[in-house]
Amino acid sequence: MYNLSIIVPTIRTHLLEDLYQSFCLSCNRHSFEVIFVGPFDIPKKLLEKENVKYIKDYGQPTRAAQIGLIETKGKLTCWVTDDCFCYPEVISETLDIYDQKCGCYDILGMRFFENPTYYKKVKSIVIHSWRSQIQKRIKKIIHIITRSKKPFNILPPTPQQRQTDHPNDYWFAKASYAFLGGVNPNWGIACLFIMDTNIWKMYGGWDCKFEYLNHATHDLLFRIQSQGSRFLLTDYDVFVSNWYEGTSKDHSPIHYAQSSDIKIFNEKWSQQCRHEYSIDINNWKNANTIWERRFGTEQPTKYTDIYKI
């Protein structure tokens, strides 16, 4: 069994090799698997990895994530976007915190920072430094690993480098959903989190009535926390991610999906009532097999068929 399963709903296949490498650098002391779910074939190099699985699906992001959840084999599970990047060593550090502080029903939220400039800068430094050191110092690396029997760590970030720009309240419902009568303002809303895989599945995962993962994840978190699960939060950023504003680039379908999702979400959580906290894990089958907001009725074979890189 892997220590961690990472679910990645994806269309941006040109980003996946670097993303996978960031997982290797970040989850450096724990075993992990990655489950990519999306319409476009992932790079061959990734398919050759024993800890990588790819599932082809043209459905909406919640459907893709739910399919990935069903396939998880790890003790713990998290999900990430395909345009994020992990800081070196930090996922392993976060798994240590989970083991120390969390019970099987608890949620460990992971802070992240959305900033295109910072995303490109961090990615460039880490990946290029890794490639350079592998190429130029491979013998020395092997020597260090053999002599010290410690993992070779590249560019471990200092606490200052990983410090989040968001205030603490940003990660709790009081910041976004205080007007909803059915929501406890102290519930956590960090979309990226780690949780026991079996408990995640017990709650049925994401509700695919929502198209995109933002409100679907908040709905999932609220259902879990309404049953008494604790929400803990890292005091540092684990990920940095890209960010597209409004309908720019490939973000248009997500923008309009969230406009629809928020109406469903607000109606559901507008007043205190008894919600169904556990849903059918196979509810993804009720979602369309092709996400029309993104693909219409077509099935393009690669990202560049519909977008420019």
Which pLDDT score is estimated for 65?
98
Which pLDDT score is estimated for 137?
44
Task: Provide the domain limits for residue 184.
Answer: 4-305
The Cα–Cα gap between 241 and 236 comes to 14
The Cα–Cα gap between 258 and 116 comes to 20
CA distances from 237 to 53, 90, 111, 145, 177 (A): 27, 9, 5, 28, 23
Which pLDDT score is estimated for 138?
37
The Cα–Cα gap between 205 and 91 comes to 22
Residue with tokens 């803990």: 232
The Cα–Cα gap between 28 and 153 comes to 8
The Cα–Cα gap between 92 and 151 comes to 12
Burial of 64 (0-12, 13-18, 19+ CB in 10 A): buried
Q: The pTM is what?
A: 0.90
Look at the chain and report how many structural domains it folds into. Answer: 1
Q: Which residues of the chain have pLDDT under 50?
A: 137-156, 159-160
The Cα–Cα gap between 223 and 151 comes to 39
Contact between 110 and 239 under an 8 Å Cβ cutoff? The reply is yes
Which pLDDT score is estimated for 132?
61
Residue 287 sits in a domain whose CATH number is 3.90.550.10
Instruction: Tell me the HSE value of 236 on the side-chain side, using a 13 A CA sphere.
Output: 17
Burial of 175 (0-12, 13-18, 19+ CB in 10 A): middle
CA distances from 299 to 60, 63, 259, 289 (A): 13, 16, 24, 11
Other Cβ atoms less than 10 A from the Cβ of 94: the count is 25
Burial of 186 (0-12, 13-18, 19+ CB in 10 A): exposed
User: Which of 240, 40, 257 shows the shortest CA–CA distance to 157?
Assistant: 240
3-class DSSP assignment, residue 15: helix
- Write out the two tokens for 199: 């408990």
The Cα–Cα gap between 85 and 160 comes to 18
Spell out a b/e string for 142-166, using b for 16 or more CB atoms within 10 Å of the CB, else e: eeeeeeeeeeeebeebeeeebebee
The Cα–Cα gap between 83 and 261 comes to 22
Could you tell me which residues come within 8 angstroms of residue 246 by beta carbon, excluding any fewer than 6 positions away? 255
Which pLDDT score is estimated for 58?
98
Which pLDDT score is estimated for 144?
40
Please provide the DSSP assignment of 237-271 as one string.
EEEEE----TT-TT-HHHHHHHHHHHHHHHHHTSS
Which pLDDT score is estimated for 261?
98
Other Cβ atoms less than 10 A from the Cβ of 249: the count is 12
